[in-house]
A and B are shown apart, each in its own frame.
Chain A
Amino acid sequence: DADVTQTPRNRITKTGKRIMLECSQTKGHDRMYWYRQDPGLGLRLIYYSFDVKDINKGEISDGYSVSRQAQAKFSLSLESAIPNQTALYFCATSDQRTGRSYNEQFFGPGTRLTVL
């Protein structure tokens, strides 16, 4: 089944450590996204990528960086983690290859990150 996977699923780390969250998809979609979710705040977009060479900042990119290693892989890094980056992180994909005019997104299972 075509899918979106994230690793790790859970991570506890300490302030100042570098962390990488990885996302892979077998859907063949061109667009990929990283979101964070905090209780009561809905989803906030960190970065998004339309293809391997096109990466864009979202609403809350400060303190984060990304890499689109291939069409199917999109990783999120926290260069120096801080406690207020404790959150649930989701990767998502969407398919605009055929010029589709809408942006239905498909989500991975999430990574729960705790920064102590």
Chain B
Amino acid sequence: ELKVEQNPLFLSMQEGKNYTIYCNYSTTSDRLYWYRQDPGKSLESLFVLLSNGAVKQEGRLMASLDTKARLSTLHITAAVHDLSATYFCAVDFMDSNYQLIWGAGTKLIIKP
């Protein structure tokens, strides 16, 4: 079964702290995507990771991919309130005919 699991599903943190969101997936893939969704809004593409060891950074967010461990991480450095959102990872597997399989999302609340 093609599965993508995120944890935690909910995270409340203080501004200035660091934290990591984890995305595990069930079988071989080297294509992983991170998206952001603000409440009631659409999904915005953040990062596309296409190989083992890939690392992408944008501001206080850094994403990485370990295909051997079937794991991606989204690291938040010195969190600020504006990063409050729900973050989704998605994977496209060789067996999924280019369909994306989505994690359930991590709702991140950053308190001032």
Contacts and interface: CB of A to CB of B under 8 A. Distances in A.
| The 5 A-B residue pairs with the shortest CB-CB distance in the complex, in nearest-first order | A42-B104, A42-B102, A107-B43, A43-B102, A107-B42
B42 A110 contact: yes
12 contacts: A31-B98, A40-B104, A42-B88, A101-B31, A102-B31, A103-B33, A103-B100, A104-B33, A105-B33, A105-B100, A107-B43, A109-B41
Given A58-B99, A103-B100, A105-B100, A43 B45 contact: no
Contacts, number: 51
B92 A103 contact: yes
A108 B88 CA distance: 16
Given A42-B105, A43-B90, A105-B33, 13 more contacts: A42-B104, A43-B88, A56-B97, A92-B43, A102-B31, A102-B92, A103-B33, A103-B98, A103-B100, A106-B45, A107-B44, A109-B41, A110-B42
Interface of A: 31, 40-45, 48, 56, 58, 90, 92, 94, 96, 101-110
Interface residues of B, number: 21
Interface in B26-82: 31, 33, 41-45, 48, 50
